[in-house]
Amino acid sequence: MARWEPGARERLVLAAVDLFTEQGYDATTVAQIAEQAGVTRSTFFRYFPDKRDLLVAGQEALSRLLAEGITEAPPGATPLEAVAAGLERAASTMGPMNRELGPRLKAAVAASAELQERDALKSVGLAAAMTSALVARGVPDPIAHLAAELGVLAFKRAYAEWSDADRDTAGEFAPYVLAALDELRAASASLG
């Protein structure tokens, strides 16, 4: 079992994104990331199976939180209310580091086809986690799938906005993601 090292994971993520942005994703090695984070290569591999997975480090935790929030929403909650509960649960773990990583992650992903693919698969995974949690609540399939997709869209749109906001006034992520979900709910009434 790996010994708990506070902050090593976060240091690795920051170091990696800095290096990806400075010198490109392909040119960056695991050894460089570990060195910049002040840890050994074997510590790197305790946290991440490979360089690419590092960029979606939080995906499993995020999926779990989204699903938990949906599962524990009140029995009478509508599908979108359950999704909102999932988003709020996930938002509670998004701190200043997540916010400040946003623009750098965006730049790194924009510059690499491989990271774009990994990022796209991340969205599919988040949608699948939310769909399953909704179906387990008894939401029928097409509605569950659609509600989950709205949740993913809300998360992505809110994350972009929050990351771009002024550091001193950005505040918490939760209001952004709930507002984005509301906006999409309103948009769905205008689809025709």
Are 67 and 127 within 8 A, CB to CB? no
Q: Which is nearer to a second copy, 76 or 96 (CB)?
A: 76
Q: Which is nearer to a second copy, 34 or 80 (CB)?
A: 80
Contact segment (CB under 8 A) with a second copy among 19-27, 29-37, 61-69, 139-147 equals 139-147
* Run of H or E residues at 130: helix 113-136
Pick from 30, 111, 146, 178 the residue near a second copy by CB under 8 A. 146
Are 102 and 157 within 8 A, CB to CB? no
Taking each helix axis as running N to C, give the angle between helix 79-91 and helix 59-71, from 0 to 180 degrees, rounded to the nearest 10: 140
Size of site (CB under 8 A) for a second copy: 31
3-state secondary structure 168-192: CCCCCCHHHHHHHHHHHHHHHCCCC
Pick from 18, 81, 100, 161 the residue near a second copy by CB under 8 A. 81
The one-character DSSP state at 155 is: H
85 sits near a second copy (criterion: CB under 8 A)? no
Pick from 46, 64, 137, 185 the residue near a second copy by CB under 8 A. 185
How many Cβ atoms from other residues are within 10 Å of residue 30's Cβ? 16
Contact segment (CB under 8 A) with a second copy among 4-12, 20-28, 92-100, 180-188 equals 180-188
Q: Which is nearer to a second copy, 117 or 172 (CB)?
A: 117
3-state helix, strand, coil in the chain (%, to 5): 70, 0, 30
Q: Which residues bind a second copy (CB under 8 A)?
A: 77-81, 116-118, 120-121, 123-124, 140, 142-143, 145-147, 149-150, 153, 157, 183-188, 190-192
